A and B are shown apart, each in its own frame.
Chain A
């Protein structure tokens, strides 16, 4: 493992000061002022997308939302390390990654609204839609990566999961399969410290990154609130995978500032002091401070960022509210790829049943 667990890799500290790292600083040498501003914009937009969606839920437009507040850097930093051909297998909180992968904001919320099980075509954006069975996606990612390898492709896969997921058997199986087949997959764990109400100490007695060693796989433990460190770590791992060197585990240490979902009440299980502690490590603040120090904050820039955030939020809202809700007969669509007589029969019967009500068009 690279770095012991008390000191996750960091390139930008909470005060916004650059920290040098022998190996990783070089990996972000290309992040000049402009690119850093772009990263900041990404962080702001992602936070705004998240808060807009939360508001929409509070306004009764979504049944549920899983906020990523506090995890923006872990998601933007890793997502911006991906090449177009790389495939993302996500859990259900990677809205920041979806944004970076170019998923249309107007489509992002349909799943949470209950209008569809899958908000976008995963093959089009090369990113899966929210996966609800915890940890299941890591195996899918491993299989996909194995397929890439069999194809002789130069691409790689990244899969996201949380600290709670590492307890699931499927995660261990994914680690095992990935290592045995040397699959080109980066296993990215966002350790946000909480699995609903359960602290990470309940899931593991040692840092998550240490698990990789048991499977004979390298790992990196990185400050998940440091967008530069995450970017560097992910670039390193993706390259490692693409070059045929097999899987790598990244543990991004971050914090879930908000509730597990909009139905959760963290005040029931965690003290406010802990939140306050982590507020001081906010991922956006440190970049803002750094940009300020570098003289890169000006009205024009802030206006640009604000405008981008507003427009994205507006798209998100509009797309959500204008969702065309599915018609009842779509219940029977796409159960099978080929026609299945029982589904056809039931579709026909249900159609006749609906037509039997007074007032229905005959």
Chain B
């Protein structure tokens, strides 16, 4: 409880009244105190006092200290009681000064709260923070202007990224504020370059370049397509939770249909393969199972379901594994689909696949059947939700019309990203494909 509440307000700084009432605030007396006990008053209200006249005795930690008045005048109030403990900075006495005081108004106040020490005002509290203006406009640390130099400018992490992707900084146009190459500049360069480098730059699986000496092993530098593919595999495998489901289908009727179609005039000069039918089946099945045609946008925390299908076909090329895709395959009829597939395959074989063909795929088919392999657990193409692995077609004893017969059988392996596709969805999708391939009538009904 402070008696200050009952007193008239302090005269404001700058007011020069002839008669001022001034308060003396308990100063820190430099003897290790934040407070002092008032032992006794040496003056009373109404007393006329002189400058430096001892007005009170206060007790510090061990000794008592006499307080001299900074004002001459008449005592109008004693603001602390004898025996009370007063904090430094508290007004203890009011004096009505008669003449123009030599005391300045601003400075004769107790200093900010400080813990006194032997040799000075004492340890101060850290001041209040002031409002910072225009933080975005505040001058940055004066970084030296990047003068045009022979060497490209880039932050260390960006240099590292470029190195990881085998990007030569001198080929990248910088877009940074300081004239430096940014992370985005590198990523753009990764998308559009790297895989279409001049041939002497790329190391494929069949090249035997730069082997180091030694009879027991051959060392091939990791770069180019293989490096990029490896990175993509790692990124995919360790980001998306892969689930693979298998379905074995009797495709005998489908093969018969294939023969019939091949013989028809619609496919006279077009190469029609089982893969085309598998692709068509997948495309039809996607209509009711859109989650298999989506992607996980971690950065924006969104699932992107595409309303178009860019169907990727995994292909072995002279330069290594590549996945060119057929844009908007969902609107293609079987004939056009077959044409595109044939073109894609041929282009890949010729090693002429373009970067546009390689980007923005939404779902992939990989055909391991050509190698005579039955099934696999394919790894998703990064950014996609599903990949269908189409195995070899074999003649096998199978159930047929209640008995056992030699039928053409193939296994479909579907890997999907379990973040995007539930087991039920994946299973339904796979079984839809299976049903289409098992009974070609379904193509007509559902296609």
Contacts and interface: CB of A to CB of B under 8 A. Distances in A.
A touches B (Cβ under 8 A): yes
Nearest to B109: A60
A261 B118 contact: yes
Interface stretch (A161-169, A328-336, A351-359): A351-359
Interface string B52-73: 1000000011110111101000
A264 B70 CA distance: 22
Question: What size tier do the contact residues of chain B reach?
Answer: 35 or more
A72 to B, nearest CB: 18
Among A57, A59, A114, A359, find the residue whose CB has the most chain B CB atoms closer than 10 A. A59
Contact of B68 (A59, A314, A321): A59
Interface string A121-165: 000000000000000000000000000000000000000000000
Nearest to B135: A356
A199 interface: no
B110 A60 contact: yes
A64 B103 contact: no
Contacts of A59: 24, 27, 68, 70, 108
Interface string B63-107: 101111010000000000000000000000000000000111001
A36 B417 CA distance: 107
B29 A318 contact: no
Contacts of A317: 51, 102
A358 B131 contact: yes
B118 A58 contact: no
A321 to B, nearest CB: 5
B116 A321 contact: no
B102 A267 contact: no
Contacts, number: 86
B121 interface: yes
Interface in A309-362: 314, 317-318, 321-322, 349, 352, 356-360
A132 to B, nearest CB: 9
A248 to B, nearest CB: 33
B139 interface: yes
Contacts of B70: 55, 59, 61
Contact of B30 (A262, A349, A360): A262
A358 to B, nearest CB: 4
A264 B108 contact: no
A57 B30 contact: yes
A335 B425 CA distance: 77
A38 interface: no
Interface string A20-41: 0000000000000000000000
Interface residues of A, number: 30
B122 to A, nearest CB: 8
B31 interface: yes
A7 interface: no
A52 interface: yes
Interface in B254-304: none
A314 B102 contact: yes
Contacts of A318: 102
Given A58-B29, A59-B68, A264 B132 contact: no
Given A321-B107, A356-B132, A263 B63 contact: no
Contacts of B104: 321-322
Nearest to B27: A60
Contacts of A114: 120-121
A327 B305 CA distance: 64
A60 B28 contact: yes
Q: Is the interface of B mostly helix, strand, loop or mixed?
A: loop
A265 B63 contact: yes
A331 B409 CA distance: 89
A360 B61 CA distance: 42
Contacts of B51: 317
A66 B198 CA distance: 85
Contacts of A267: 62-63
A176 interface: no
Contacts of A262: 29-30
A305 B132 CA distance: 56
Interface in A190-213: none
Nearest to B119: A64
B111 interface: yes
Nearest to A66: B119
Among B51, B61, B67, B110, find the residue whose CB has the most chain A CB atoms closer than 10 A. B51
Nearest to B60: A265
A60 B120 contact: no
Contacts of A261: 30, 118-119
B108 A265 contact: no
Contacts of B108: 59-61, 321
Contact of A357 (B109, B131, B142): B131
A314 B67 CA distance: 18
Among A61, A263, A357, A358, find the residue whose CB has the most chain B CB atoms closer than 10 A. A263
Contact of B107 (A58, A61, A349, A352): A61
A262 B110 CA distance: 16
A358 B120 contact: no
Nearest to B58: A58
B117 interface: yes
Contacts of A63: 30, 119-121
A114 B330 CA distance: 83
Given A55-B68, A58-B68, A265-B63, A321 B102 contact: yes
Given A321-B102, A321-B107, A356-B132, 17 more contacts: A51-B52, A58-B67, A59-B70, A59-B108, A60-B25, A60-B109, A63-B30, A114-B120, A261-B30, A263-B30, A263-B116, A263-B117, A265-B62, A267-B63, A268-B62, A314-B102, A352-B139
Closest 6 CB pairs of A and B: A60-B27, A263-B30, A55-B68, A63-B121, A59-B70, A358-B133
Interface of A: 51-52, 55, 57-61, 63-64, 114, 261-265, 267-268, 314, 317-318, 321-322, 349, 352, 356-360
Interface of B: 24-25, 27-31, 51-52, 60-63, 65-68, 70, 102-104, 107-111, 116-121, 130-134, 138-139, 142
25 contacts: A55-B52, A58-B27, A58-B66, A58-B68, A59-B70, A60-B109, A61-B108, A63-B30, A63-B120, A64-B121, A114-B121, A262-B29, A263-B30, A265-B31, A317-B51, A317-B102, A321-B104, A321-B107, A322-B104, A356-B132, A356-B138, A357-B132, A357-B133, A358-B130, A358-B132
